[in-house]
Structure 1
Amino acid sequence: MRRIAALLAVPLLVFLGAKPAAAHPMPHSVVVLDVHEASVTASLELPVGDLATGAGFAVDLPARADALRDYLAGHFRPAGADGRAWTVTVGDPELTRAEQTSTGPYQEVRVEIELTPPVGGDVRHFTLGYDVIVHKVVTHTTLVSVRQDWAAGRITEGDTVEQVGVIAIDNRTMTVPQLTVDLGTGSSRQGLLAMLKLGGLHILEGTDHLLFLLILLLPAPLTAARGRWSGLAGGRRAVRRIGGITLAFTLGHSAALVLSALTRVEIPARPVEVFIAVSILIGAAHAVRPLFPGREALVAGLFGLGHGMAFSLTLADLRLSTGQLALSLLGFNLGIELVQLLLVALALPALLALAGLPVGRWLRIGGAVLTGAAAVGWMLDRLGVPNPVAGAADAVGANHTSMLVVLAITAVAGAGWLIRRKPATT
């Protein structure tokens, strides 16, 4: 018994004394679904190392692009709830760098695959037969998520996704089960409401659009004479000017938004963003010294065309059908206009009050200088010169709740001052 105990103790002591093996976490794959009216786009992110093992050849792009497309098509088998197979169309793969929290940097392949059901097929309920990589690398997993789903009211910008399942090998049967994707019901009403909300958020978070409108409104209560801002225009006249500027800006960006979205013209983002920065800089200069007195509405409408093109870039990424696009234009525009009217209504009392204060001139010039600095920062950033001014200006839009609170406080203060001032002037 002593000999047996001694023999058992030796390996036990070796095991206890050995350093623990450090498991090297491997990156997982990602499948992100964008749901359209008659198809589903799957965006794949595949780690190169595991992909080469699964495919059985080196992922050398673009030389092996055709072989990789064939491999992916053979291991991607979507089917409807009725069992009918979907058509799989693999796009051009590209090699890029990536990083996951547990793995550090690595190379990955990104590729889009179009999944199209037969005529009359339901894109909201289907099964996903998928065993890319995992049929050879049994420890590999694939996270499946939904990013865009207009009919369900899911309209997101950026990398926000909702996970719908995980694809991995079943250790009991050593098979890869199909993933059942159930996206629930969808409707045009949900899509319309989502676009209404997106339009409102877009104008709230779009600091550049807000600054352009507000900087044009800043000198609206004033009259111009001899190349400078002089006296007050009067309450009714100022309100008419502010209303005209707001309406012209609305018509300008609405026309550009509708035209660019319905014609599906691809507009480069950088020239549009530079144009917007230039428009803000011109508006800031006009607030200091009148450049186009009495023609602010015309300028707002013309520059509004450029701002509308920027809005259309958001809709272009959604790849909507004609019917969905028409409803989206209605909801998106309505959301923009409702929030815009709210902001103008909040700013109006303060604008009228400041115009009648001795310190109003310096506040106007100070606001114009800050706005002009932000415009220059944005212009440089859009031209490829990052700078802290652009980052600080963008951060203002990220905290739109605080901005609304400040505007509400200034609106109450301005209205109070106007009410107290009115009896003295009558």
Structure 2
Amino acid sequence: MWQVRRIAVLLAVPLLVFLGAKPAAAHPMPHSVVLLDVHETSVTASLELPAGDLATASGIATDLPARAAELRAYLAAHVRPAGADGAAWTVTVGDPELTAAEQTATGPYQEVAVEIEFAPPAGGDVRHFTLGYDVIVHKVVTHTTLVSVRQDWAAGRITECGETEQVGVIAVDNRTMTVPKLTVDLGAGSSWQGFLAMLRLGGLHILEGTDHLLFLLILLLPAPLIARRGRWTGAAGPRRAIRRIGWITLAFTLGHSVALVLSALFRVQIPARPVEVFIAVSILIGAAHAVRPLFPGQEALVAGLFGLGHGMAFSFTLAGLQLSTGQLALSLLGFNLGIELVQLLLVALALPALLALARLPVQPWLRIGGAALTGAAAVGWVLDRLGVSNPVAETADAAGANYQAMLVVLTIMAMAGIGRLLIARKAATA
């Protein structure tokens, strides 16, 4: 009997320990990320590698830049792209940088970021290839690498839209204890898809670009009015007002289109900060003009001149895409067309309200109030772009994310303006 009890105790002890112990907490380690930017004749891979795991696998301390050459050699040996026919691609490893990163489950950690360019033999297909890749995973068998496409112009995927598409996961195969090659198939792609993507991007850029919209709308606000002795007085005739609004819109379009084309095609390198400050100052000047006429009758000329600065800002979007000459030409057309179509839509929606507002008794209050808000946003942007962060600039920037609400408001204003104009016409003919 005592033997039965002894066996029972021996079985109960580990059972009680198991039941009484707290469950083991999972501590997932940060994984690696590979983001692919697909160009016409090459692919750029942006690697984000946890520094601790990289040091463990490579045996090289992430003491940058002192150990940069060793890390580049390690990466070149463990990244082996090849075409669908098996032909090896050339690999060029950039300079690694040590950055700070954070993962929800594990908290902050250090990360090594590096860009690697893959290039097939002349005439090779960049849209179909195999990626032999075992960075870190050849030693740290629990590690995984997520591979995604960040930019692929021919497939209509643009970096600026902030969307990525995962194409695979690289990890050790537990059955064979090897790291299988990843097959990357990006489909056919076409210039048409790239053009449509840029058309969409241009439209979104003007909708989400609060500063560009404010500049145009604040110039249009006093356009239906007559300036006398340094003051805005009564409303101009409908034809005259529409003609002014048309010329201002056209001049702004020409200004930013010329600057966009010249700076993009000729790869003009312009510092972003002076351009952004210039745009904020142009809005401030437009707001002051809406209160008191600074350049009456010259609004179209001013819109064209300031439009040059706005066009330079638009060109920064294209400059970061690293497109070939042919892709850039189509992108310019699509991007600019997207901007103009949305701009025309917004002006068309605002036009009835602008014409009706010019004839309302509350017009001065609404105009000055709108100019004050716009001027405050402009001052906030000037300070922010000079390095002084402030809540005004943050609020104005956040307004661009609510462009759907803005479109709804403009549509309601357009309907109200049309109704007001119809009532006024009916009263005039009665």
In the superposition, the TM-score normalised over structure 1's length comes to 0.98
TM-aligned CA deviation for residue 147 of structure 1: 0.7
**Of residues 248, 261, 266 in structure 2, which corresponds to 1:263?**
266
Structure 2: which 5+ runs fail to align?
A: none
> How far apart, in 2, do the equivalents of 1:307 and 1:115 lie?
35
Q: What are the residue-to-residue correspondences of 1:386-401 with 2, within 5 Å? A: 386-401=389-404
Q: What are the residue-to-residue correspondences of 1:172-191 with 2, within 5 Å? A: 172-191=175-194
* Aligned equivalent of 1:335: 338
Q: Does the alignment pair 1:47 with 2:59?
A: no
* Aligned equivalent of 1:85: 88
> How far apart, in 1, do the equivalents of 2:351 and 2:190 lie?
38
**Of residues 311, 315, 319 in structure 2, which corresponds to 1:312?**
315
Instruction: State the secondary structure of the residue aligned to 2:172.
Output: coil
> How far apart, in 2, do the equivalents of 1:377 and 1:340 lie?
24
Cα displacement string for residues 129-186 of structure 1 (whole angstroms, at most 9, x for unaligned residues): 0000010101000000111110001113264311111100011100000011111120
> How far apart, in 2, do the equivalents of 1:100 and 1:118 lie?
38
Q: What are the residue-to-residue correspondences of 1:363-378 with 2, within 5 Å? A: 363-378=366-381
Q: What are the residue-to-residue correspondences of 1:15-414 with 2, within 5 Å? A: 15-157=18-160, 159-414=162-417
Instruction: State the secondary structure of the residue aligned to 2:102.
Output: strand
Corresponding letter in the other structure for 1:377: G
Instruction: State the secondary structure of the residue aligned to 1:384.
Output: coil
228-237 or 318-327: which moved more? 228-237
Instruction: State the secondary structure of the residue aligned to 1:113.
Output: strand
Structure 1: which 5+ runs fail to align?
A: none
Cα displacement string for residues 262-318 of structure 1 (whole angstroms, at most 9, x for unaligned residues): 011222222111111100000000000010111000100000011011111111111
Q: Once superposed, which parts of structure 1, at least 4 consecutive aligned residues long, lie more than 4 Å away? A: none
> How far apart, in 2, do the equivalents of 1:49 and 1:267 lie?
38
Instruction: State the secondary structure of the residue aligned to 2:159.
Output: coil
**Of residues 14, 17, 21 in structure 1, which corresponds to 2:17?**
14
294-303 or 228-237: which moved more? 228-237
TM-aligned CA deviation for residue 16 of structure 1: 3.3
Aligned-pair identity (%): 84
Corresponding letter in the other structure for 1:250: T
Instruction: State the secondary structure of the residue aligned to 1:385.
Output: coil
In the superposition, the TM-score normalised over structure 2's length comes to 0.97
Aligned length: 426
307-316 or 393-402: which moved more? 393-402
Taking only aligned residues, the RMSD between alpha carbons, in angstroms, comes to 1.2
> How far apart, in 2, do the equivalents of 1:102 and 1:382 lie?
35
TM-aligned CA deviation for residue 6 of structure 1: 3.0
